[in-house]
A = this chain, B = another copy of it.
């Protein structure tokens, strides 16, 4: 962006000077289309000066400048550019299928059948696939996935999600409190929007972990909400210390009304899995301070480490009993993660627990203007919420595919942490869950100076060098937040084993070279 802005301001100067030679120079710099734009720049209705200022502030590192550069490099390679590497390795985003994970057959068969209903009779699919497709079509307007659904989703699928939650937690779930969405991000944004309200002249603040998944920082910036960061404790495997929550709340209270607490479990980018005791302490803290709880639990199926177990906030809250069992909570889930990795289909849900009925009604009203989440994404949600059961024809294959994905992720989670820990200059916590490692890197003082000269944060400087020299695309720690003076990056564990090994080998060589060059 900043280079684009420089270009435009330079171009504007050239244009206003009226120099003919400069026009030629300009035409070389810009396409004809952009040139037309520049001529009328002065009279644009929307300019960088009068645009929504929150949009200027918003940053989303997972798809930020580094990732834009990675795409450019891919195009350069396609066109035959000579580079010290042959391909870009995209370890920047939790996009399993893009990295070679294969889809779960049951999900794809059901979606194909509801899309083209003649396949139900003619496709030769298992009976449970056919029955599921019929059930979903019967729940659609005009028996077509081309009809709008209710804004909070198809009732049958919401019921299946409630049943899934009941099986998961051992406690009742009310399908009326399940709100389907086009991916968890959508549901999280809708929920955060409830808090946009300046009370007594103070903005509303939201507690989020540092490091965090940048959907949160981006959404808070977009909505003009105050980001109140609490640090996860790297030395204790990224544990969540309630004393740090107290500290963050205390420090922020003068500047804003802190109204909600976001917890990501299993953690993104940090890969920790919270213990039950930790969750209990967090709920008690939220209750004592009247904070709405947002539990981002999209990685609930991705738990690898021995001794680690996923406990939902809903389960722990329910089992704590009154008054905690009445505390407000929204829990988010997605079909993009877990063993399915169906990112492109856009399916997810929120379960709203103990939310005031009129607040919930207003939330449902608000989403109604967007009509509905995609019915095919909802179909994927249905397959995840109600997978084939033992004895049903699709069960064996489904279990085999699911197990293969999860056990391979398990191996890669261990491999990545072990390898980084064997490399000089890296330190990496155990990847207990989710799909990421977030190692700390030692950067020599001369690298920090060089970064300063280049106008970049040291970790951003490092990640750009890594990309340009090796083709490996990771996201610098500053995109997620980190304690001042420490440097990290997030890498996914998603490259298939051989590619992951290759990536780690390249990484090691690069880091040695980088350290030598900057010492």
Contacts and interface: CB of A to CB of B under 8 A. Distances in A.
Interface of A: 1, 4-5, 8, 33-34, 36-37, 39-41, 43-48, 50-56, 58-60, 63-64, 71, 93, 95-103, 108-109, 111-112, 115-116, 119, 140-142, 144-151, 174, 182-183, 185-186, 189, 193-197, 199, 214-215, 218-219, 222, 259-260, 290-292, 323, 325-328, 340-346, 354-359, 361-363, 365-366, 368-377
Contacts of A4: 357-358, 361
Contacts of A292: 45-46
A340 B144 CA distance: 12
Contacts of A41: 356
Contacts of A290: 43-45
Contact of A346 (B95, B115, B373): B373
Contacts of A149: 344
Contact of A197 (B8, B53, B108, B371): B53
A425 to B, nearest CB: 31
Given A50-B197, A97-B141, A97-B144, 7 more contacts: A37-B326, A39-B326, A43-B290, A48-B358, A51-B362, A56-B362, A147-B344
A386 to B, nearest CB: 19
Contact of A45 (B147, B260, B376): B260
- Pick the most buried of A140, A340, A346, A362: most chain B CB atoms within 10 A of its CB: A346
A144 B374 contact: no
Given A344-B145, A375-B344, A214 B52 contact: no
Contact of A345 (B1, B145, B354): B145
Contact of A369 (B56, B218, B325): B218
B365 A1 contact: yes
A54 B326 CA distance: 27
B185 A103 contact: no
Top-9 shortest CB links A-B:
A98-B141, A344-B375, A97-B146, A97-B144, A98-B147, A45-B292, A218-B369, A63-B368, A112-B116
9 contacts: A1-B362, A4-B357, A46-B194, A46-B328, A50-B199, A51-B359, A53-B197, A55-B366, A144-B344
Contacts of A45: 259-260, 290-292, 328
B145 A369 contact: no
Given A98-B148, A358-B48, A55 B363 contact: yes
A95 B63 contact: no
Contacts of A116: 108-109, 111-112
Output the residue of A40, A100, A115 with the most chain B CB within 10 A: A115
Given A116-B109, A185-B371, A36 B326 contact: yes
B148 A344 contact: yes
A64 B151 CA distance: 11
A473 B148 CA distance: 16
A362 B48 contact: yes
A361 to B, nearest CB: 6
A95 B148 contact: yes
B144 A357 contact: no
